[in-house]
Chains A and B, each alone.
Chain A
Amino acid sequence: MALFEALLELADDHLVLGHRVSEWCGHAPMLEEDLALPNMALDLIGSARSLYTYAGEVEGAGRDEDALAYLRDETDYRNCLLVERPNGDFAQTMLRQFYFAAFMEPYWKAALESPDETVRGIAGKAVKEMAYHIRHSGEWVIRLGDGTEESARRMAEAVEELHRYTDELFHTSEAASGVAALPDRAAMRPEWDRVIGDIFAEAKLTIPEVRFPQQGGREMRHGEALGHMLAEMQVTHRAHPGAVW
């Protein structure tokens, strides 16, 4: 069931980040961003839905997207730690988005060559959306990093806080390894390094040396933050089991 595991890793990354980004709805610093953030959240949640639906089919145990999203506990979520990090300030949210999109864009591009037709379909849609996310969040990384003294300080602090979580983007758990239908995560490293390097140079940011990379999410070991997020995300579904529109 390596394919099921690998699809869950992807779906959990997208749902958890999508939910995090959606928390900004109504709280963004300006109207344009109040439109942008929920739009990006929708892209991520939309991909998550397709991935969960396919994972459920692959598993063959009768679980649908809702069962996989709402009825698993944090000890069963396979998302990387980066995506579950609390939103922090606007700089942290945008930097997290940039790190993630800069990984997913080449990943989905590679997935366009997948032997699996469903994967190709999901990738074909998502690759364009991720290109949009890189551009939007990348522009903010530059604008804040090379902006005022205050914005530069905030963006530098965001880098300090979040960079240690980025190694895990390239990591797959053993249970999800060796799936021909999906690209090798580790192979995205050169492209990710290039995009991050280019934007950081423009943003006058320094790539920090990470001495202790943080990971464990793929092995279902999460920080405290995820449980709180899932509680809020899942409460309605769990309170009304089986409810439909």
Chain B
Amino acid sequence: MAEAATMEEARAWEAAAAVPDPEVPCVTVADLGILRWVRIENGAAVAGVTPTYSGCPATLAIEFAIEQALREAGFEARVERVMSPPWTTDWITEEGREKLRDYGIAPPVESGGKATLFGAPTVACPRCGATDTERLSEFGSTPCKAHYRCRSCAEPFDYFKCL
């Protein structure tokens, strides 16, 4: 019985983990580290999801998408919002960081906080790899990104902010 539940959990995890981020579709919710766990409770699949940024408008869309993916895999589904511990960009997997780079988004350099308060981190260009880059705008197209430009290959690019 326990083993069956575990297998079902694994199957539910796979279904939920494959859901892409609506704003950055090159990475999945598992790559980003925002899908925390999937459990089978009383026959239903329950997914624990942590929001990225407090005001991220995609949070609700992500929760709906995960619920839908679980239903399509044949589960009764529910999503629980997990606030603690808070998500940090350190939870993005190695694979996720690689996918971001391939997609043209520079992955976060280091954990945010006081250390980066009055200085910008060194961000490598996702196209050519040069570190001679400059910040154009501290805020970008979504709450999780800033806008940069590469001085070496002249390519403008998004940078996934460190938090």
Contacts and interface: CB of A to CB of B under 8 A. Distances in A.
A129 B120 CA distance: 15
Contacts of B53: 42-43, 46, 125, 129
Interface in B84-140: 84-88, 112-114, 116-118, 136-140
Contact of B112 (A39, A122, A128): A128
Given A32-B136, A43-B143, A50 B86 contact: no
Interface residues of A, number: 34
Contact of B118 (A44, A47, A125, A135): A135
Interface string A131-144: 11011101000000
A49 B57 CA distance: 12
A193 interface: no
B54 interface: yes
A118 B84 contact: yes
Contact of B86 (A40, A124, A134): A124
Interface in B2-56: 51, 53-56
A117 interface: yes
| Interface residues of A, dominant DSSP | helix
Contacts of B161: 132
Contacts of A43: 53-55, 143
Contacts of B83: 50, 118, 121-122, 125
Contacts of B56: 42, 46
A125 B117 contact: no
B163 interface: yes
Nearest to A41: B55
Contact of A128 (B84, B139, B163): B163
B113 A131 contact: yes
A6 interface: no
B84 A117 contact: yes
A128 B137 contact: no
A3 to B, nearest CB: 16
A50 to B, nearest CB: 7
Contacts of B138: 32, 36, 132, 135-136
Interface string A91-131: 00000000000000000000000000110111011111101
A131 B117 contact: yes
A128 B113 contact: yes
A126 B83 CA distance: 11
A46 B140 contact: no
A32 B163 contact: no
Nearest to A136: B138
B37 to A, nearest CB: 16
A155 interface: no
A53 to B, nearest CB: 9
Contacts of A135: 117-118, 138
A45 interface: yes
Interface of A: 18, 31-32, 35-36, 39-47, 49-50, 117-118, 120-122, 124-129, 131-132, 134-136, 138, 245
5 contacts: A35-B139, A44-B55, A46-B53, A128-B88, A131-B113
